[in-house]
Amino acid sequence: MLKQRSFLIETLTALGLILAPFVLPHLGFAPNTVNRILVWGLFGLGFDILFGFTGLLSFGQSAFYGTGGFVAAYLLTRAGFPNVMLALLIGMIAAAVVGYLVGLIALRRTGIYFAMITVAIAEVFFFVEFNPLSGWTGGENGLPGVPTPSFNLGFTTVHFTTGWSLYQFLALCYFVGVVIALRIVRSPVGAILSAIRDNPLRATAVGHNIHGYKLAAFVIAAAYAGFAGGLLGVLQAFMPPDAFTFDTSGQLVMQTAIGGRGTLFGPLVGAAVWLFLQDFLQAAVGLGAAWKLVLGIVFVLLVCFLRRGIVGGLEDLYRKIVGKRSKPSEVSPPAVASSVGAANQPKAAQASTAAPISARARESATRIGPILQATGLTKRYGGLLANSDIDFTVLHGELRGIIGPNGAGKSTFFKMLTCEVPPTSGTIVFEGRDITGTSVTNVCQLGLTKSYQVNQLFTGLTVRENIVIAALAKLRGKFRLDLFRSLDSIPGLNAQVARTLELVNLAARPDTPVSELAYGEKRRLEIGLALATSPSLLLLDEPLAGMSPQERVETVKLLKSISRDRTMIIIDHDMDALFELAERVTVLQEGRVLIEGTPDEIKKSTAVQEAYLGGVQGVLDA
């Protein structure tokens, strides 16, 4: 996520665009080269939202670039459309619509499948443009005669022609593009997009409809591509058919990687490097056709050694220098804060009981009767019966423990309750609603979520950003396109995040990247992610696993305080802790419920003793 200093980046961009015509000619940039850089940069803004922020690497952006470009060019040349701006916008909308349809297919898969499908789709567009649609697109001749824009301001008419004159128009378009992209990136949707990049599984589990958000990112990228494609026609006074080629997509990908992904300005910088090298190597150095080989080698080296590209590398360098300078002053506050945090802990717990984390939690505390009822739950993996005919009921406000030897089917049972895996048979009723077979996202939205046995965090983000992602799901629902809303303007978000951070005792380190947290802290953040969605029923899968004795004591305290406002089910192997926490305990063995009762009853049960000790003896005998 970009820093949110108000309008600093916007101001600097405007300043840079104004100064460029005075500075760049001295560096050997021709006005036409600068204009092409701007078009690529605008094309790349959308692509960076898709690739850099959402993590979806598409090799098929040429399809939308070409679609937007040819729709605009057709309107302006063959259809006799007078208004350039309107034609560009129509081209953009056409590209967005095409992007939506293509996205429906391409986003059925992720990762390399997604990359392969986008390549294939873009290739289809290329062939369609050349053959079946050549009557409209001019085939391999393209569409010549695209006019440049002019605006009638009433008292005078401003006409942008070529060179630096056209630059003014393109710079304005780029500036508007940057402002919009920054708004999107800083919006709740932008935050969720980076969560999808970091950990799609968890983004789904905290209650976001990630398919919808990915499709949104895809359409945004297509819209930017379409507009940039239209500008290409305006810039060259001719819409070239090679806008549709695979090379266009490839060049965009390479420029973005060279400049730096996830920086928004990376594609612009990458395009500048690319076009400058092209001119420089071809003419000045006299490499001729070999310039592209040099560029390819530079690209491979950059991908190998400078992952975040030029802009990302500069950013890291800047942080290192600033970080070094301010380190002495920065080290002390966290130390103080953490001791204060420790002292504050009981107070924080009290505060949270005084002000329950959400209305939903308060509601559930007053209800009585079962909150969750599973009947005849069975899960079969091929010949293996993981869970067999489990009947399980938890009442409102209860704290239930689940124990069982390894392989008893505890985690599978949790996965079925949160609808991560569908049961082979049986039903699950949550708060009177049959949730069997719904999705993990919907279940989380209803107020049932889980903290994972193995941490599932958004590793590229900070502690606070992690909690924000989870809290957004609760506050905004599973899908909402508030692209231009600032994160700060969401009512209750900051309070919800602050409360959660306090509850899991991470309030002192909100801006620490997750990768720098200690294991115990990560574990608490994992619980915090689940808590921030304000669940009325919280499942915890081995919250104490891997913790030191000291951390265990603190985590048990934490679990006690969060259990005051909600119903909880805890799986753990630490029986002392579990017997201390839980009001009732269910024992699973070989996928079945062995016994259920109060901790004292369980301790005395001979069946349980046999399950644990007898099981061990059985293994030893065998």
Would you say 138 or 230 has its CB closer to another protein?
138
The CA-atom distances, in angstroms, between 250 and each of 193, 258, 516, 615 are 23, 12, 35, 59
Q: Which residue do the tokens 């699950």 mark?
A: 428
Alpha carbon distance 396, 429 (integer Å): 13
Q: Minimum CB separation from another protein for residue 21, in Å?
A: 33
Q: Whole-number minimum distance, CB 83 to another protein, in Å?
A: 33
CA atoms within 13 A on the CB side of 183: 13
Contact status: 382 vs another protein (CB under 8 A): no
Q: What share of the chain is helix, strand, coil (3-state, %, to 5)?
A: 65, 10, 25
Please report where in the chains the tokens 């395009």 appear, as a residue: 271
Name residues contacting another protein, limited to 201-260 (CB under 8 A). 246, 250, 253-254, 257
Pick the closer one to another protein by CB: 303 or 454: 303
Beta pairing partners, 607: none
Half-sphere exposure at residue 351, Cβ-oriented, CA atoms within 13 angstroms:
15
Provide, rounded to whole angstroms, the least separation between the CB of residue 181 and another protein: 20
* Residue 379: CB minimum distance to another protein, A: 16
Residues in the chain: 622
Residue 100 CB, shortest distance to another protein, in Å, is 15
**Both ends of the chain: CA-CA distance in Å?**
56
Would you say 295 or 469 has its CB closer to another protein? 295
Size of the site for another protein (CB under 8 A): 42
Least CB distance to another protein at residue 266 (A): 13
Cβ atoms of 377 and 392 closer than 8 Å: yes
CA distance 222 to 216: 10
Q: 495 to 554, contacts with another protein by CB under 8 A?
A: none
Q: Which is nearer to another protein, 307 or 325 (CB)?
A: 307
Q: How far is 390 from 172, CA to CA, in rounded Å?
A: 64
The span of 9-17, 51-59, 335-343, 383-391 binding another protein (CB under 8 A) equals 51-59
| Interface map 100-129 toward another protein (x if CB under 8 A) | -----x--xxxxxx-xxx-xxx-xx-xxx-
Q: What residues contact residue 510 under an 8 Å CB cut-off, 6+ apart?
A: 462, 463, 464, 501
Give least dist CB 54 to another protein, A.
Answer: 11
Closest CB to another protein among residues 85, 133: 133
Using the rule CB under 8 A, which residue among 4, 131, 161, 350 binds another protein? 131
Reference 11, options 174, 179, 260; nearest CA is 179
**Separation CA 407–CA 570 (nearest Å):** 16
β partners of residue 519: none
Q: Considering the complex, what minimum distance in angstroms separates the CB of residue 115 from another protein?
A: 6
Among all chains, which residue has been given the structure tokens 């992602």?
A: 469
Question: Of 130, 164, 276, 579, which lies in the binding site for another protein, with binding defined by CB under 8 A?
Answer: 130
Among 51, 175, 213, 224, binds another protein (CB under 8 A): 51
> Looking at beta carbons only, is 105 or 607 nearer to another protein?
105
Residues within window 408-467 making contact with another protein, judged by CB under 8 A: none
The enclosing H or E element of 508 equals none
> For residues 260-319, which are near another protein according to CB under 8 A?
289-290, 292-293, 295-297, 299-300, 303-304, 307
For residues 139 and 260, what is the distance between their CA atoms, to the nearest angstrom? 35
385: helix, strand or coil: strand
Site mask, another protein, residues 551-570, x = CB under 8 A? Answer: --------------------
Nearer to another protein, 289 or 331 (CB): 289
**246/612 with CB nearer another protein:** 246
Under DSSP, the state recorded for 516 is: G
Instruction: In whole angstroms, give the CA distance from residue 388 to residue 394.
Output: 18
| List of residues contacting another protein (CB under 8 A) | 51, 55, 57, 59, 105, 108-113, 115-117, 119-121, 123-124, 126-128, 130-132, 246, 250, 253-254, 257, 289-290, 292-293, 295-297, 299-300, 303-304, 307
